[in-house]
Structure 1
Amino acid sequence: MTERQWPTREEWQAKAEYSVRTLCTRWERLPHDARFITAEEEAEALAWALEAAKRLRPPLTAEINRLRVLVPDRPAAGRARVRWWLDLSEEKERVANDLSALEDIRRTVARAAREKAWDTVGGQLGRLYRHQRRIMLDGGLDELCERLNARAVEVAARRDAEAVRLEQKAIEREVARRATDEAWEKELEWRARVEQPRVTRISSGYGE
């Protein structure tokens, strides 16, 4: 059996930062209840989202209805729809894909508005803006989309900054810990247990 090559104390100390960074992602260090938006900012974002959901529904429904006319034989759901989809021409498949995406956006936005999930509404508006910009222009939703996206970027930046701060603090603690004799002794004890694992004998229960 090949003897395990353990790092020297200096090498072990030098890997303190690597150990911290690979133990978990920096975002896993954030408290589960951490919030990076004020109550006022959240109320403002929610107002934008609810207004956007209200203004989005008419043009979105109009486009959904227009596309449904182009695929009148589309089954409601299930295996029948899958079989129908496989037989579509390239043009009809494009229509069916657009229709399915818009129906999903309408459902998601309506649910997010009920649940007061302003960031989800913003994400769906961004999805529309990337792929169905005409609806956004017709509905006059561009400005609301930009506001919600900017707010989401701000919140994400605060979250990332705090995650970086907590990770750096953890690195500093680990570097300081590994510089102590006590930590090195514990490391050597752990290595010894790895090299000589305890074997537990299990009795068969016969003649013993």
Structure 2
Amino acid sequence: MTARAWPSREEWQANAEYSVRTFCTPTERLAHVNPDAVWSTLAEDVEFEELATEAAKAARPLLTEEIARLRQAFPDRPAAGRARSLWVIELEGQRYDDACNLGALEEMRRNIQRAARNGNWGEIAWEVGRLFDHYRPAITMGQALCDAVLRMRALTATARRRHDEAADAVVEAAVAAEIARRATDEAWAQQLERRASIDSPRVIRVGAQTSPSKGDQVT
């Protein structure tokens, strides 16, 4: 067996930062260090809930009106399932686009209704945001609803920024700690032991007389 080419102590020490940064993502590291952290304030959560509640109420009639309009254009539309899928495939041009929009808006309305029942304010923000981004001006959204979408996005961005800043700080602390650790003789001795165990793995032979906890060293 060819011996593994291990880096020197200096190379191993110089690789400390790379090792930390590639071990896991900043989000994973932060979740491990601070698993129960919340990145929004109570006041922001209350505001977000109020905005999402009102956005759901305002969006539903808009969706219902547009869905009804599109349904009138497709009296032959199958109820659901494979028959509807095959029917959509046969459409062309604007009729195809309208049929796809109809299905998307129906799904959006269902999702908003379910999210409102379950108190899933983030899903409401996502769905109403889709309406804001992709279905104007065909669907006219009032200024209050547009403002609510933008405000919910601002609140989400604020919480995300706090999360990202905390994650970056955790990574930087881990990098500094690993650099300091690798500078010690104890850490280098542990690294040499680890390398030796990899280069000379131990196996347990079933039925052998030697202690199964010790095993037999492969030579």
TM-score by length of 1: 0.91
State the percentage of identical aligned residues.
47
2:200 matched to which residue of 1? Answer: 196
Residue 5 in structure 1 maps to residue 20 in structure 2: no
Deviations for 1:112-169, whole angstroms, at most 9, x for unmatched residues? 2222222222222221111112225357411111111111111111111111111111
Contact 2:128 2:149 in 1 (8 A): yes
Where do 1:14-33 residues align within 5 Å?
14-29=14-29, 30=31, 31-33=34-36
State which drifts further: 193-202 or 136-145.
Answer: 136-145
2:129 matched to which residue of 1? Answer: 126
1:103 matched to which residue of 2? Answer: 106
- Structure 2 residue aligned with 1:186, among 186, 190, 193? 190
Contact 1:59 1:139 in 2 (8 A): no
Structure 1 letter corresponding to 2:86 = R
Q: 1:145 to 1:136 in 2, by over 3 A?
A: farther
Residue 161 in structure 1 maps to residue 143 in structure 2: no
Specify every segment of 5 or more residues in structure 1 that has no aligned partner in the other structure, as ranges: none
Contact 2:56 2:128 in 1 (8 A): no
Contact 2:39 2:159 in 1 (8 A): yes
TM-score by length of 2: 0.87
Specify every segment of 5 or more residues in structure 2 that has no aligned partner in the other structure, as ranges: 209-219
SS in 2 for 1:92: helix
SS in 2 for 1:35: coil
Structure 2 letter corresponding to 1:190 = R
Deviations for 1:37-75, whole angstroms, at most 9, x for unmatched residues? 111110111001101111111111100111111122222
**Alpha-carbon distance in structure 2 between the residues aligned to 1:17 and 1:72:** 64
Structure 2 letter corresponding to 1:149 = R
Residue 77 in structure 1 maps to residue 73 in structure 2: no
